[in-house]
Amino acid sequence: MKLRVKVFRFDPSTGKKGYDTFEVPYEEGMTFLSALQRIKETQDPSLTFRHFCRAGICGTCTVYINGFPKLACKEQVLPYVLTGQEVTVEPLDKFPVIKDLAVDHEEVTDRLKRFRSWVKGTKEEVKIDPSLNRKIQESADCILCSACQSYCPQVLEEEYAGPLFFAKIYRFLEDPRDDSKEERIKQAIEEGHIFHCLSCDKCNSACPKDVKPATLIREIMTFFENG
């Protein structure tokens, strides 16, 4: 059995864009990341893509597989191999491509800094109820893979910060150790334009960690409405 894969290519030195098709012999347990590595080792050493943990934790390997964002290190190739059809692998949509499948995350990183995605507080010891902890965990499970951000149609509107940021903010709004809630809500509205969310739930479907950013966005809106 073989995986037939059409991979997006971009060479920044020439500006050339296009697709290359490769055939990769199937091996038991093969993921798209291992298929890309096999191509790099045996067919084209110039093929460029990001990865780190290989375990669905670091969020660096996200690519589009047949038009849908997936973690390459988690997505098994077998179901695609069994269809016998060619599979398309492309970089994250709406992100500047650096080379082939590697995209530039700088804008996301900069915005995360502006949104201060860390607990901001002075309380030394706070007991967190287990049920509240579970709620916080829903948002803290985000691995910043940008799948939601890339799949959200509304991020094309530049003012709208996007689901990734609101999923992060939610965690701090629920965290009793954080003492800048009012400031965060103000920032979500004025800087992030949270009310521009279309509530289309596309980010919920794209998130590989089941964080459900759209659901969290609706909860943040209730923080605002309840004062």
168 is a site residue for ligand FES (CB under 6 A): no
119 is a site residue for ligand FES (CB under 6 A): no
Long-range interactions of 49-53: CB distance < 8 A, separation 24+? 49/100, 49/101, 49/102, 50/101, 50/102
Question: Shortest distance, CB of residue 209 to ligand FES, whole angstroms?
Answer: 10
Among 2, 25, 41, 53, binds ligand FES (CB under 6 A): 53
Q: Quick one: which segment of 52-60, 78-86, 160-168, 212-220 binds ligand FES (CB under 6 A)?
A: 52-60
For 139, how many CA atoms within 13 A lie in the half-sphere containing its CB? Answer: 26
Q: Check if the beta carbon of residue 2 is closer than 8 Å to that of residue 24.
A: yes
58 is a site residue for ligand FES (CB under 6 A): yes
Among 34, 37, 59, 155, binds ligand FES (CB under 6 A): 59
Measured distance CA(154)–CA(7) in Å, rounded: 26
71 is a site residue for ligand FES (CB under 6 A): yes
Among 1, 23, 52, 199, binds ligand FES (CB under 6 A): 52
Among 7, 30, 61, 142, binds ligand FES (CB under 6 A): 61
Question: Shortest distance, CB of residue 60 to ligand FES, whole angstroms?
Answer: 5
Measured distance CA(202)–CA(191) in Å, rounded: 22
Measured distance CA(205)–CA(220) in Å, rounded: 19
Question: Shortest distance, CB of residue 162 to ligand FES, whole angstroms?
Answer: 19
57 is a site residue for ligand FES (CB under 6 A): yes
Report the relative pairing of strands 16-25 and 97-99 from DSSP bridges: unpaired
Measured distance CA(97)–CA(10) in Å, rounded: 8
Six-digit token string for 63? 């690519």
56 is a site residue for ligand FES (CB under 6 A): yes
Task: Give 126: exposed, middle or buried? Use CB within 10 Å, 0-12, 13-18, 19+.
Answer: exposed
Q: Quick one: which segment of 21-29, 57-65, 102-110, 218-226 binds ligand FES (CB under 6 A)?
A: 57-65
Q: Check if the beta carbon of residue 97 is closer than 8 Å to that of residue 10.
A: yes
Closer CB to ligand FES, residue 19 or residue 52?
Answer: 52
| Look-up of token digits 């499948």 | 101
Question: Shortest distance, CB of residue 16 to ligand FES, whole angstroms?
Answer: 27
Q: Which residues bind ligand FES (CB under 6 A)?
A: 51-54, 56-61, 71, 73
